[in-house]
Chains A and B, each alone.
Chain A
Amino acid sequence: NAGVTQTPKFRVLKTGQSMTLLCAQDMNHEYMYWYRQDPGMGLRLIHYSVGEGTTAKGEVPDGYNVSRLKKQNFLLGLESAAPSQTSVYFCASSSRTGPIYNEQFFGPGTRLTVL
């Protein structure tokens, strides 16, 4: 099992450009999450999904959109990138029926720089 994978690992964008980050999990988890991690700010939840076709806003959703068309994939989109979106982005997934309630499994992260 690959667990949670994220594509790409690194990306540099110019202000105003758009991009999509892809998260994939092979554990058949119902729940998926997108976080950003900035120095001194910890992990902040951007959006999450409790099932295929459903999404919800987290703590810092502005400037981001998400889609969950397939159970195993969760996409994070930046329509018009801004320097404030320079961050490390983590995807995570969890199961409602696992041995540890809602244990989240994280991907390796995507380092995004917006110039």
Chain B
Amino acid sequence: QKEVEQDPGPLSVPEGAIVSLNCTYSNSAFQYFMWYRQYSRKGPELLMYTYSSGNKEDGRFTAQVDKSSKYISLFIRDSQPSDSATYLCAMQRGFLSGNTPLVFGKGTRLSVIA
């Protein structure tokens, strides 16, 4: 079983839709959870970051972590064509474990149709 599982899609939604992107993981040592956004032919950029369980909101984006279920989500409200990109989840053990590298999901390709 991969440490991090993410449905690669592709996912196509109409403009204005609510989008839900998800990842599951198997390593209970993960404490830092991130979502990166990658536009076509570009490098990934950090979009959202959460530590431990709970929700974090930033504008139209909400990141949710459920450590008991080992499940993280990214919600996009009022989706726009400019949100069309690949979204990668990433996670990491705590800093007391030293600099353990990020573990990435495979990414979900999202298209928002105008």
Contacts and interface: CB of A to CB of B under 8 A. Distances in A.
Interface of A: 4, 31, 33, 40-43, 45, 48, 50, 58, 90, 92, 96, 100-104, 106-109
B88 A43 contact: yes
Interface residues of B, number: 22
B106 A42 contact: yes
Contacts of A102: 32, 92, 95, 99, 102
10 contacts: A40-B8, A42-B105, A43-B107, A50-B99, A96-B95, A101-B92, A102-B32, A102-B99, A106-B44, A109-B43
A102 B96 CA distance: 13
B41 A43 contact: no
Interface of B: 6, 8, 32, 34, 41-46, 49, 51, 88, 92, 95, 99, 101-102, 104-107
B101 A45 contact: yes
A11 B38 CA distance: 22
Contact of B43 (A40, A42, A45, A90): A90
Contact of A31 (B45, B99, B105, B107): B99
Given A40-B106, A42-B107, A43-B88, A100 B42 contact: no
B50 to A, nearest CB: 10
B99 A96 contact: yes
A33 B44 CA distance: 13
B41 to A, nearest CB: 7
Contacts of B45: 106
B88 A58 contact: no
